[in-house]
Each structure stands twice: as C-alpha cells, then as structure tokens.
Amino acid sequence: MKNSNNTLDRKGNKALLYDFHTHVEKIDELESYFDLNIIPIINISNFHEWEIIRKCDNWEKYSKLINDIFFISAGVHPFDNAPWSEKTEIFYNNMSKYSSFVGEIGMDSCWSNVDKSIQKSNFERSLDFAYKNNFPVILHTKNMEGEIYDIIRKYSLQFIVHWYSCKNYIDEYISLGCYFTFGPALLEDKNIRTLAKRVPLDRILIETDGLNALQWLYNKAISENELRDYLEITIDEIAQIKEISPRKMVDIVNTNSEFLLRKGYKNG
C-alpha cells in the first residue's frame, strides 16, 4: 500500500494518530502501535484477551503506560453467549481499574448467533455499569441499529459508534451526540460514505478494528507494521469527502480523540 505523506509533521516524523477502536491478539501488535506513533484504544471482551497484554514480559513497564500511550475499553461483546453472571460482574469490576470505556457492547443480528434475549440483557446491564461508573460507551450495532437506538436514547451517556454501516437512523444517532469511528471500509461501502457526509466534523474518529477485521475486509494477510497505513487512507478519504486537507483532518480527529480520552480518565 502506498504510504501517505499527509500525516508527517513539519520535521518529517510520523504525526501522532489515534486508533479509537482496535483489538490486540499478540503483544507485537501493541508494540507496533508504539513504534508507529499511534495511540490505540484496545477492546477487551474477556479475561482471555486481557491475559494477552497482562502476561507479556514487559507488563511491569506497560501497566504504567495505560491511559498514557494506550487505553483500554472493556465490555461483553454481542458474540459472547454467556448470560450475565457473577463472573461478568468480576470481569467489569476488575477491568475498571484499567479501562476508561465500556465496549464494544451492543447487539448483532448479522454475525452473532447468540440468543437475542441474552444479547439484550448483557447490553443493558453493561450500559448500567457504564452509567454507574460514568464511562463512555463503544457501540457495536450491526443490523440492530433501530433497537439499539431505542435503548440508548434512555441513557445519559457518551456514545462512540463503531463501524456504523446502516443507511437508517443516522440523524437519530447524531442527535444523541454520538461520535463515530470510521475505518477503511469507508472506501468500499456507500452507506458509510453517506454517514461520513452527514456527520459533523467534531464527531469524527478513526479506527482499524484490529488486524483480523482488516484481513477480513481485504481478504489478505496484513502485518502489524501496516496498521498506520489503514488509518492514513481513512484520513485521506474522509478529508476528501469533507473537502478539507488531510493535515487539517488529522488535527480534527486528534482533537476529538483527546476530548473523549480526557473524559475517559477516571476523576477527570
């Protein structure tokens, strides 16, 4: 993939970028984020995923860098078929020492085979947890956009909608004050382009959704060293849609990201 020069700073160094929604399956991926000057918001769905980071050799060092050069979001994914239990409470309570967000949570009737009532109950209880702890929420809405809108409009919470690809309810979600994370699917999907045209500049964030999602989208192997390229093509594309320069777009996305991350800090 062609590298964009649009995210170099004046000295020719890679400008800071944020990947506002990702997953890490190997510790090399987290380290690659540091090398590429990207601050990731890493989604953790269960203790197994958490162990990938926590059991690494450099945990002692990395644990001090949470909420500095990387952030954690913890939440029960709509693919998880375990009904809410004491174990779920333990997961949320333990993770809240490290996390700044609840997510990705939501419902999915496209790829998830999990019973709708389990999805809905896990989703609502996760929202209750977010409300009690004043955490912003990262939403997964696939094919359940209307149902999710009906639930979240009752909550006074900050929502970040991940990979929204539905042509309906866009104005409804915008009117709730939602932010939206855009990834390179923006180049392929006309519904996402419609969203990008309509969403205000101060609600735009960017994401990769992790290497697995990128590999699924492009149907090819992608290495952790290429993560930045996919954020850059997304920036370039949104900038074009919004008719502003890519550099300006980086500034806008970084300002939006930093605003939410300050909100994500505990006691802040």
Measured CA to CA in angstroms, residue 145 lies from 109, 110, 163, 169, 195 at distances of: 10, 11, 12, 7, 14
Query: Which residue number, 160 or 253, has a Cβ lying nearer to Zn ion?
Result: 160
Q: Measured from the CB of residue 140, what is the shortest distance to Zn ion in angstroms? A: 7
Query: Which residue number, 209 or 237, has a Cβ lying nearer to Zn ion?
Result: 209
As a whole number of angstroms, the distance between CA 144 and CA 123 comes to 12
Determine contact, residues 162/100, Cβ cutoff 8 Å: no
Query: Which residue number, 209 or 229, has a Cβ lying nearer to Zn ion?
Result: 209
Q: Measured from the CB of residue 209, what is the shortest distance to Zn ion in angstroms? A: 5
Determine contact, residues 138/162, Cβ cutoff 8 Å: yes
Q: Measured from the CB of residue 217, what is the shortest distance to Zn ion in angstroms? A: 12
Residue nearest to Zn ion (CB): 209
Judged by CB under 5 A, how many residues of this single chain contact Zn ion? 1
Residue matched to tokens 């997304």? 234
Q: Measured from the CB of residue 21, what is the shortest distance to Zn ion in angstroms? A: 6
Considering the rule CB under 5 A, would residue 108 count as an interface residue with Zn ion?
no
As a whole number of angstroms, the distance between CA 26 and CA 124 comes to 30
Query: Which residue number, 29 or 209, has a Cβ lying nearer to Zn ion?
Result: 209
DSSP codes of every residue in 64-99: GGBTTTBEEEE---TT--PPS-HHHHHHHHHHTTTE
E strand or H helix at 140, and its extent?
Answer: strand 137-140
What amino acid is encoded at 240 in this protein?
Q
Q: Measured from the CB of residue 104, what is the shortest distance to Zn ion in angstroms? A: 5
What amino acid is encoded at 154 in this protein?
K
DSSP codes of every residue in 196-214: HHHS-GGGEEE---HHHHH
Binding mask 64-83 for Zn ion (x = CB under 5 A): --------------------
Q: Measured from the CB of residue 163, what is the shortest distance to Zn ion in angstroms? A: 7
DSSP codes of every residue in 116-135: HHHHHHHHHHHHHHHHHHT-
Query: Which residue number, 211 or 249, has a Cβ lying nearer to Zn ion?
Result: 211
Query: Which residue number, 209 or 232, has a Cβ lying nearer to Zn ion?
Result: 209
Considering only residues 185 to 244 of the shown chain, the ones binding Zn ion according to CB under 5 A are 209
- List residues binding Zn ion (CB under 5 A): 209
